[in-house]
Structure 1
Amino acid sequence: MATTVGEARAGLAPASLQLPGIVLGVGLGGFVDGILLHQLLQWHHMLSSTNHDRIGVKYYNPHTVSGLEMNTLWDGIFHAVCWIAVLTGLAILYSRVTHNRRRVWTSRVLWGWALAGWGLFNLVEGVLDHHILGIHHVHGGPYQVWWDIGFLVFGALLLVGGWLLQRSGQPFDPDAPTARQAERDAGLSR
């Protein structure tokens, strides 16, 4: 007895959106950080606090031309890593979702995991760069520790909010028929 592809896959769980969502969220969260905090607000650059870092990186004063050039170079490397994360997340998503790709973009599951990925980015980057390495802070100055803690709290809120959002969504099964397909199939079986 022959089985269709849909029947053969019926026993398998639908492709998970967790990994592509998290990887996309890490990349997009990095872009928000880099564009907003590095470029628009100019609160910090990748190496703007190396005069007080914990690993001995040479100080590149962002208020001098040569220092700004080096900080901008490292900001560009940071953005390249964010771009690779976004492309990787899209590639994973594309490989896992083979049907009904349009529906995935409205999925609470995908966007919940993306928010969780952004939160994960904030937590890892905040702990590593702001606290452990000390190569930069969210907003340097007398209250920098509070800005750094606020960044971590925001990351934790994004992580929890994303997790709750994805739980409230319908599980995405790329092989499930859309309403239009179901109507068409019902019309054919009459």
Structure 2
Amino acid sequence: MQKNQQRYALRNLASGFLFGLGLVAFLDEVIFHQLLGWHHFYDKSTTAVGLFSDGLFHAFSWFATVAALFLVADLRRRSAFWMKRWVSGVMIGGGFFQLYDGLINHKVFAIHQIRYGVELLPYDIAWNAIAALILAGGIVLFVQTGKQMRATGEVK
């Protein structure tokens, strides 16, 4: 492990988190909003409002993804890019976003459901279980990279 990777460990994690969040939001928007047409980001109004909310959601996902890649470019310029730490951030960000969407947007705020006109429980279980697995995998990688830093003796 390079010293710069340790110095910029948080930036690697943050960049990965933004990328994962943006990537999963992008996939959600393209697959479930556009290709399958199961829902819009905001379904409590007209279709026009739903499409407008999808546009804002899509812009947000790209903003997060592009910002993350600018951070990666900076990390690479500094010889501080740490792939395993970054991937842990990608998984944590993606899993967090999907779990937030499944629990908060779908259930607490009820701004949309995964799909309409079907029994929701299997969809909700699959959606949130996949999110939890991705998040857990990211946390495992994060812990491993923390142990790797402590093993070098430079992190207290």
Do they fold alike, i.e. is TM over 0.5?
yes
Report the CA distance between 1:26 and its aligned residue.
Answer: 0.4
Equivalence for 1:185: none
Q: If the length of structure 1 is used for normalisation, what is the TM-score?
A: 0.65
- CA distance in 1 between partners of 2:71 and 2:60 (Å): 16
Tell me, in whole angstroms, the C-alpha distance in 2 between the residues paired with 1:164 and 1:36. 28
Partner of 2:7: 14
**Which of 92, 101, 109 is equivalent to 1:116?**
92
Q: CA deviation at 1:128?
A: 1.9
Residue 31 (structure 2) pairs with residue 31 (structure 1): no
CA shift for structure 1 position 93: 2.9
Task: Give 1:166 deviation, angstroms.
Answer: 4.8
Greater radius of gyration (CA): 1
Question: Mapping of 1:1-190 within 5 angstroms?
Answer: 13-16=6-9, 17-48=12-43, 50=44, 59-60=45-46, 67=47, 69-100=48-79, 107-167=83-143
Q: Name the structure with the higher helix share.
A: 2
Sort the Cα spacing of 1:97 and 1:15 in 2 relative to 1 into closer, same or farther, 3 A. farther
Aligned to 1:55: none
Q: CA deviation at 1:111?
A: 1.9
* Equivalenced residues, count: 145
Contiguous gaps of at least 5 residues in structure 1: 1-8, 51-58, 61-66, 173-190
Distance 1:12 1:47, change over 3 A: closer
TM-score normalised by length of structure 2 = 0.78
Give the fraction of aligned pairs with identical amino acids, expressed as a percent. 26
Q: Does the CA contact (< 8 Å) of 1:47 and 1:71 recur in 2?
A: yes
Query: Alignment RMSD, CA only?
Result: 2.8
CA distance, structure 1, for counterparts of residue 124 and residue 140 of structure 2: 24
Counterpart position of 1:184: none
Contact 1:109–1:167 at 8 Å: present in 2 too? no
